[in-house]
Chains A and B, each alone.
Chain A
């Protein structure tokens, strides 16, 4: 064994080596979610696949949670962050109920969620949130967020891994973009059909989207949940 330095004995094991320390607190669990607001209803839909890279953790992990009879939250991104954020929202909504003797309105939850996300501005929750529900007048409302809490009320929005596939389709079919036809209000049946078509199409091309589709329909009568099969490959 040759010595590295003249006059010094050869060392055949490393005396010291640099150790790299790093902290990777985020993981992308994939999945797609969307929400469409109607005249007196709101549809919130998400696939139920949870993945990590090329591995499918589970075929049924819901991304949407009913918060009240008028509000449903759907989240994608890092599942651990989504769980924590959902718990925080539910906790705050309970405190609100105890303090004021009424459930939070959709607009109030929307504003609160923005603040909750911004509170973690420099160590954000990795979550794409869409809040769907009915507003004070009973009209459909969709609120969309970025991970640091910037938010906007819209008529339709898709987020998550297949958002780039579905969003242009929603622009075309829900907002009638690039069409001569006059903008008209869609019925619940039409919206559900477009929602299901969006996900069956996205499942064909996005590997992170699939297994099942869970749809929450919010009307003045409360929240109904329906499930649909998607391709499992």
Chain B
């Protein structure tokens, strides 16, 4: 889990959710890339963040893209966040005894535009949160930041500031994460993606 490093965090707001990740890819202490994003769009208002072993991150991102596309073709409707969370869970549990080394975070709005966030461990044990979900090598620092910065019913702009501050200050205390960040805020009528410039050390 700590081979490549990385951090992902998701937060709920008032009729909105946000998901953010750092952009570092490393091989233990050596930084290899500063453009390695860990969040992937699954549906118009649904994202997944995949921190962990980079090779599994890419494999699973493709796997989930394939499964989500198949779902849409067969069912002729959008994939709901809760449905997708269970799809992620069963995909991971399928490999119970030789797992994918990822700890996914899911964030999205459901068909009534209610916020949904969830996280899972590497074998698919789901954790539905009302407030925030954190994952990756920076999870301790993110827990500390989120627990003290987050409050209920944040508006999209406030949510953006909160999640950005939580992520940036957390990764600055982790040598395996950082080197820029990406924040995605999902609202009922638009998805706002912003790239953050942060400390490069």
Contacts and interface: CB of A to CB of B under 8 A. Distances in A.
B128 interface: no
A179 B168 CA distance: 10
B169 A168 contact: yes
B62 to A, nearest CB: 33
Given A201-B148, A204-B147, A165 B168 contact: no
Contacts of B168: 178
B135 to A, nearest CB: 14
Main secondary structure of the interface of B (DSSP, over half): helix
A164 B169 contact: no
A172 B165 contact: yes
Interface residues of B, number: 15
A177 interface: yes
Nearest to A197: B148
Given A178-B198, A197-B148, A201-B148, A165 B141 contact: yes
26 contacts: A164-B140, A164-B144, A164-B173, A165-B143, A165-B144, A166-B144, A167-B141, A168-B144, A168-B170, A168-B173, A169-B145, A169-B149, A169-B169, A171-B169, A171-B172, A172-B145, A172-B165, A172-B169, A178-B165, A178-B172, A178-B198, A179-B165, A201-B144, A201-B147, A201-B148, A205-B143
Interface of A: 162, 164-169, 171-172, 177-179, 197-198, 201-202, 204-205
Q: Which 6 residue pairs of A and B lie closest in terms of their CB atoms, listed nearest first?
A: A165-B144, A164-B140, A201-B147, A201-B148, A172-B169, A168-B169
